[in-house]
């Protein structure tokens, strides 16, 4: 399991770096941030890293969301809502520790 988690970390790291060229509201970029943050939280047991990755993705996307057309806005908001839910949930874990 450790090797698989390590390989996943490497792959996500490459993906996130490549996706940084995309708009903060891009669905691929948001999905990568969501999935990578869940890997940090659930598999790697790094709640702080998960929190900051999800929060950063959310904070970067929100200011430019209004520049999208309605359909793209709706698609991005679905992922942003999950990111925000995770940020709220994980903030409690961080405060408890």
pLDDT in tens, 47-96: 999 999 999 999 999 999 999 889 999 999 999 999 999 999 999 888 88
CATH number at residue 28: 1.20.190.20
36 touches 63 (CB < 8 A)? no
Q: What is the pTM of this model?
A: 0.91
Give the model's confidence band at 3: pLDDT under 50 very low, under 70 low, under 90 confident, else very high. confident
Residue 19 tokens, joined: 């996706």
Per-residue pLDDT reduced to its tens digit, 11-43:
988 998 999 999 999 999 999 999 999 999 999
Among 76, 50, 49, smallest CA distance to 62 is for: 76
Structural domain containing residue 16 = 2-96
Total number of domains in the chain: 1
Q: What is the pLDDT of residue 28?
A: 95
């Amino acid at each position: 399991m450790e090797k698989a988690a390590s390989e996943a970390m490497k792959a996500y790291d490459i993906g996130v770096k490549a996706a940084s060229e995309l708009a903060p509201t891009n669905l691929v970029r948001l999905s990568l941030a969501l999935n990578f943050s869940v890997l940090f939280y659930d598999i790697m047991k790094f709640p702080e890293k998960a929190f900051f990755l999800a929060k950063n993705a959310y904070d970067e996307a929100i200011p430019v969301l209004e520049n999208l057309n309605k359909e793209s806005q709706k698609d991005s908001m679905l992922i942003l809502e999950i990111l925000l839910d995770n940020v709220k949930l994980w903030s409690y874990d961080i405060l408890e520790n």
